[in-house]
Structure 1
Amino acid sequence: MLVVGGITRLTQSGLSIVEWAPLMGVVPPVGEAQWQEAFDAYKRYPEYQQLRPTMTLAEYRFIYYWEYAHRLLARAIGVVFLVPFLAFLARGYLRGPLLRRLLLLFGLGALQGLMGWLMVASGLVDRPSVAHERLAAHLLLAFTIFAVCLWTAADLWPTPAPDEGARRRLRRLHAGLVTFGALLVLQVTYGAFVAGLDAGRAFNTWPLMAGGWWPPAAWRLDPPLRNLLDNIATVQWIHRTVPLLLLLVAALLVAGAWRPAARAGGPHRAWSVALLAGVLVQATLGILTLVTFVPLWLAALHQAVALLLFGVWLAWLHVATRARLAV
């Protein structure tokens, strides 16, 4: 779902369907007349008028199908969740914390659908693209849903009882994981800003930006805080810099997990190596995506690995949290 959403964004297909029809939108246009009607509706909005005035119907069908696939997949996920949920609920299998967690997931899914439409609607007014802040909110909600799913599944998995000294030994490791997670969420947020502003198509060199470590005109907007959200140079610089902090924290986590005095145990050592490797792979993909001017396949892979890295971090955090709380 996240990869298809990323490709939808990268192919600039997200504004191709200009109405929100949760039920009727399941069926795509059928026949030349319906396709022309959908294309004519698209022509009324800024993206066509300002960026694609020469687009043909065949080209429109291409971007339509990417957005349609994204929406159809969202509906399918909703059905796959809701049908067994109602069946298990009717049989009394769901109660207590698990029921509350699943209700939370249902609410997050509904909110994500609404957020997706609000994002699309921001590009149907007076600008030919979606608001990057709403794009970031849409992406962060996707990561949140993934996190709740993974954490809930991990809660149901049996865990061996830790030794009595686990709480004290894992305290620093747990704090490091929380720090890494905060930086990772910041990086994902600025990744969405880079995508929404098309900032990846500027300053396509590494490690320098326009020949220097600090980009020109990084604080040209007023008030100054606007630069953190709307300035392409500043946004890209932050997205370049946070991985260095992630790499540092990941290296410290490896050192902490492998320190003999810590006695963190084999699982934590394995997770630490996986996390550090994930950061290195993701940073390499990011650099390659930048210097090759954002090819579709590489940018999509970069986004997919971001979710994988997030999953590795969250799984290790769950292991460390349960070990501390179980003492």
Structure 2
Amino acid sequence: MDEKKLLAEKFEASRTHLRAVAYRMLGSRSEAEDAVQEAWLRLNRSDVSGVGNLGGWLTTVVSRVCLDMLRSRKSRREEPLEAPGQEPVAGSGDSPEHEAFMADQVGLALLVVFETLAPAERIAFVLHDMFDLPFDEIAPIVGRTPMATRQLASRARRRVQGENTVSSADRSRQRQVVDAFLAASRGGDFNALLAVLDPDVVFRADRTAVALGASAEVRGAAAVAGTFSGRAQGARPALIDGGMGLVVAVGGQLRVVLNLTIADGRIVGIDAVADQERLGQLDLEILND
């Protein structure tokens, strides 16, 4: 069989699943179709001869397309939800009963809640909770570590389940951790830094941040405290894709974002992002010092 024809058949076999993924992320039938079509175009432009799991590859592509669309939509403050009464596209289940269940899970009410989520939260929640993808596969799509991706999905899950008061309390506690970290870092208080860092905390930096002088990876509270002691003078607290973090701007231009993963009152992960393209895709809200 012709290779292109075989590829087209494999894509068609995945189309229903891809439409289901895209619809749950976007809440719009027409945008879901656009995302799937874009995946088809990218497939035709790519060499997938070495791809062992084409379905997984296509799911990743569609997810990234949807993430870009969500971020673009958020910047325009658009809400293209379907009108009440329209049925969502079919799911990827093995039986009509399963598809009916999935359709019920993504009713209009749930889509309305989804609109309150940051794009990365929405992607992480949909892929993990609705399509059972592991966090280590979702992490590269949203540009986070698996641990940070797990936290994205957890925040989204709480909001979907209506636990906004708990989420607000969590955010307040996390803000206290961030403020303590900033104060200790700026003041060069090594012991105070140790108190706010998990013993197994991991700092990671992207390639751009490494080129600017950051270490690619630092492990352990003592080592990470040493890295940040006396630093963070220009850092400001911010909400980054709905989670707590820090931003550093120079001359009014955003240079570095620090995504903080906080658990049990301590920082367990710090991810430095300096790549300008990735920075432009983040949903940021600067908080008052």
For the criterion TM > 0.5, the same-fold answer is: no
Bigger radius of gyration among the two = 1
Bigger strand share: 2
Output the TM-score relative to the length of structure 1: 0.29
Output the TM-score relative to the length of structure 2: 0.32
Q: Which has the higher contact order (CA 8 A, sep 6+)?
A: 1
Bigger helix share: 1
